[in-house]
Structures are given as C-alpha cells and as structure tokens.
Amino acid sequence: MDEQIDAKLNAKEREQRIIDSYRQDEHMMILVFAQWCVNHDLDPAEVYCKAYPDQADNPILKQMSELTVPKEEAGEIADDTLLGVLSMFDNEDLAFVVTEEIAKRRK
C-alpha cells in the first residue's frame, strides 16, 4: 500500500516538475521576445497586442519586459533565433507579427 502512495506522490512530483519547467521555458521565450523588441526599438506590449489583442494586459509579458536591458547593453538576438523559439512553443500568431516587423525593418 505504501508503494502505491509513494508512486502516486512521485508521479505528482514529476508532473509538477514538468509543469514548472515548461512555465520557466515559456517565461524565457517571452523574455527573448521582449529583448528582441527592445533591440529593434519596438514596444513588446504593442507587438504582442497585434498578435493577441484580447491579451493586452499580459502579466508575464510585463514581468519579462521589466527584465530587459537597454539595447546598447544587450547581446544581439537574431531574427531566426526568435522565430525558432516562438516556433518551439507553437506561437505562430506572434511569429507572424514578428515576421511582419522584420519585413518593415528591411524596407
């Protein structure tokens, strides 16, 4: 009986670790996006809102935006790197808006 309880607890712990890891990775994706925006003189909230107008007040985006540094202090984030990170999270709507911003910059 104790083994079953231990197995259930271990499964719950594993599940919680997976959820925490995903959440941490998602935060990192948003931070990369926000820093990329700063590096290209874009407001992360405005760009995000173009992709997700119903999520204009995203607390995670706000939190991650506060962690960005001025572009002069930041390392370069390649466009392809950001698009790859967004793709890993199936974030096609935001990737589409980012692609539009890249196209504007290249004109």
- What is the structure's pLDDT at 15? 83
What distance in Å separates the CA atoms of residue 53 and residue 71, rounded to the nearest whole number?
A: 26
Say if residue 48's pLDDT is above 80. yes
What distance in Å separates the CA atoms of residue 40 and residue 43, rounded to the nearest whole number?
A: 9
Q: Assign 35 a pLDDT band (cuts: 50, 70, 90).
A: very high
Q: Assign 7 a pLDDT band (cuts: 50, 70, 90).
A: low
**Tally of domains within the chain:** 1
Say if residue 1's pLDDT is above 60. no
Say if residue 62's pLDDT is above 90. yes
Q: Print the domain residue range for 88.
A: 2-106
Query: For the whole model, what pTM was predicted?
Result: 0.84
